[in-house]
Structure 1
Amino acid sequence: MFGVLLRKLVRAVTILLVVSFTTFLLMYGKGSGIVRAVLGFEAKEADIRREMARLGLDRPLLVQYGDWLHGVVTGDLGESFFTGQSVTSLLATRVPVTLTLVLLALVATAVLGVLLGVTAAVRGGWIDRTVQFLAVLGAAIPPFVIAIALVFAFAIAVRIFPATGYVSPDQSLTGWSSSVTLPAVALLLSTVASTAAQFRGAVIDALSQDFVRTLRARGISESRVVYRHVLRNAGGPGLISLNLGVMTLLGGAVFIEQIFALPGLGEAGLTASLQGDVPVVMGILLVGITIVLVVNLLADLANAALTPKARTR
């Protein structure tokens, strides 16, 4: 298990370096274009050169990237070009909002996906057909459409939840839970059906294996066969589906936060991209990559624990 962990960590760090450097090259390689976005496109050349020197953009790109990596290690990601706010402090207030939505939706997706997938595979019939239909429907409807429908249904037509806004949990737990419920449900509905369909397929495949017939022949109860043996063998494909679902949830959070006016990474990232605020964009990219890699690492370790063959990959 330690060898698996070491290989996965090396792979994760390599991916982080490659993706961050590629993004750094594409964004910071613009040089004077960044300064023109900050000062305005009518700025004089002398002002542009002076600002580039102040921001350190006149140095070699590898030197700039090395300084950025040093800042990542020390926790100093620089300052916003437009507001002067520390990127680290900005992320400290934005990350909890997005993580809350993603984690709530991910946990609910895992629980409901397993229950629906197993039920569809074992019972079949209308439950199976419904899960497959919802999987296709969920893939066809964008998360922001689901979010708008939820707002009309539960914030306008029936005023149960607020339509927009965010309440910090240290201000009011009730207000916080009300403000994150609809956004989390919108993300959940965009992924749970496809996850259930993946678990359904994995469970059906496991049920056709010889060991299942052997267990049934020994008189072991069907519930024990399914939930102790079949589900463990189906866990690998299901974990892969959940792992991919994290990227879907992070992408969906960008639009969901705009619709519900939530102060998360999606809203900050969109604003920074439109402004050309490169330090903020790089900080948000770093957080997003880290979340995906950590979830991927945990999924691989869980898969290795469930499936011994996966430990050699």
Structure 2
Amino acid sequence: MITYVLRRLGAGIILAVLVTFITYLLLAPSFEKIVRSILGTAATDANVAGRMQKLGYDRPVGVQYLDWLGGVFKGDFGRSLFTSELVGPAVTQRLGVTLSIVLPALAITVLLSIALGVIAAVRGGTIDKISQGVSLIGMLVPSLLLAIVLVLIFAVTLRWLPATGYAAPSSNFDGYLRTAAIPIFVLLIGGVANMAAQVRGAMIGELRKDYVRTLRARGMKNTTVVMQHALRNAVGPAVTVLGLEFLAMLGGALFIEKVFALPGFGTYAFSAALRGDVPVVMGITGFTVLLTVTINLLADLVNGWLNPKARLQ
């Protein structure tokens, strides 16, 4: 298991280097334009060349990237070109806001998906049809539209929840629950629709296998067969796509944070991309890749714990 974890970590580091290098290559042609936007329209070519040299953008792209990567290994992600704030602490602070929305949504998604998938597969009939209908609606309704509708209902009409704003859970937990309730629900609805369908399909397949019929023939309770044997094997596919759902929620947070005025990772990324703030864009890319690798590794470890065949592979 240790060898497996180390191998996956190594592959994750290689992936992070490749993704960040490609991002830097894509940003490089716009460096001069970004510098001109910083200096303003009155800047001369000499001013632009001097600032390019000061920032190190006049050197070969490969050298620039290696300098950035060396700083990352030292914990230095550079400074924002526009605000001069350190990128590492700025991204970490805003990432905490986003994760306080994404992680609860991801956890609730897993629990609800397993519950709905198992009930639909075991009971069948009307319950199964309702579950499939809910999943279909969750897949078809755009998150942005759902967010606007929920704000109109719960914030504007009923006035139960605030329409915008954010309260940190560490300082005001009640305020956090009120401000995070709608964003969390909007993020999890699509995830539940996808993962519940995965669990349902896998459970139906497992319940039709010979070992399930054998266990039932031996007199084992149906609840034990379903929860301790069939579910353990069926939940693997859902866990496997957990990393993809995490990425989808991070992407969804970009729009959700704009709708609810949350000072999170998505809002910061959107502003940095519009301005062309190279150090911030690179820091956000690096953090995103590392988060994805970590979530995928955890999903593989959980899948290996649930399914001995996955451990052998």
For this structure pair, what is the TM-score category when the shorter chain's length is used for normalisation?
Answer: over 0.9
1:98 correspondence with 2:98: yes
Residue 149 of structure 1 deviates from its aligned partner by: 1.1
The amino acid that maps onto 1:20 is T
CA distance in 2, matches of 1:6, 1:87: 28
8 A contact 1:81–1:279 mirrored in 2: yes
Shift of residue 292, structure 1, vs aligned partner = 1.1
- The farther-off stretch of 30-39 and 6-15 is 30-39
* d(CA) in 2 for partners of 1:301, 1:308: 11
2:152 aligns with 152
SS at match of 1:30: helix
Corresponding residue for residue 60 of structure 2:
60
Q: Specify every segment of 5 or more residues in structure 2 that has no aligned partner in the other structure, as ranges.
A: none
Alpha-carbon deviation of 1:142? 1.7
Aligned to 2:123: 123
Q: Does the 8 A contact of 1:28 with 1:34 survive in 2?
A: no
Q: Does 1:228 align with 2:232?
A: no
Structure 1 segment 104-119 matched on structure 2, within 5 A: 104-119=104-119
Please give the alpha-carbon distance, in whole angstroms, between the structure 2 residues aligned to 1:248 and 1:228. 30
Give the partner amino acid of 1:106.
Answer: L
Residue 253 of structure 2 corresponds to 253
CA offsets, 1:39-85, max 9 Å, x none? 23553110110110111111221221111112211211111111111
Q: Which moved more, 1:213-222 or 1:285-294?
A: 285-294
- Given the two structures, how large is their TM-score scaled by the length of structure 2? 0.96
Q: Which secondary structure state, in structure 1, belongs to the residue aligned with residue 293 of structure 2?
A: helix
User: What per-residue deviation string (whole Å, max 9, x for no partner) do you get for residues 91-146 of structure 1?
Assistant: 13201110111101000000000000000000011221122122222222221111
Letter in 1 for 2:277: D
Match of 2:239 in 1: 239
> Mapping of 1:288-303 within 5 angstroms?
288-303=288-303
* Rounded Cα–Cα distance in structure 2 between residues aligned with 1:28 and 1:72: 18
Q: Would you say the 8 A contact 1:8–1:297 is kept in 2?
A: yes
Runs (4+) of structure 1 exceeding 3 A deviation are none
Q: Which amino acid aligns with 2:65?
A: Y
Report if the CA contact (8 A) 2:114-2:235 is conserved: no
Greater Cα offset, 226-235 or 34-43: 34-43
Pairwise CA RMSD: 1.4
SS in 2 for 1:78: coil
* Corresponding residue of 1:141: 141
Distance in 2 separating the partners of 1:71 and 1:28 = 18
Alignment of 1:1-313 (within 5 A): 1-41=1-41, 43-313=43-313
For the Cα contact (< 8 Å) 2:243–2:299, is it kept in 1? yes
Q: Between the two proteins, what is the percent identity of the paired residues? A: 46
**Structure-2 separation of matches of 1:169 and 1:135:** 31
Displacement, 1:2?
1.8
Contact kept, 8 Å, 2:242 with 2:296, in 1: the verdict is no
Report the more deviating stretch, 277-286 or 103-112. 277-286
Give the direction of change, closer, same or farther, for the CA distance of 1:214–1:258 in structure 2 (3 Å limit). Answer: same
CA distance 1:156–1:66, change in 2 (3 Å): same
Cα shift at 1:29 = 4.1
Aligned AA for 1:166?
Y
Q: Mean alpha-carbon deviation: is it higher for 53-62 or for 255-264? A: 53-62
User: Which amino acid in 2 is paired with 1:130?
Assistant: I
User: How far off is 1:33 after superposition?
Assistant: 2.3
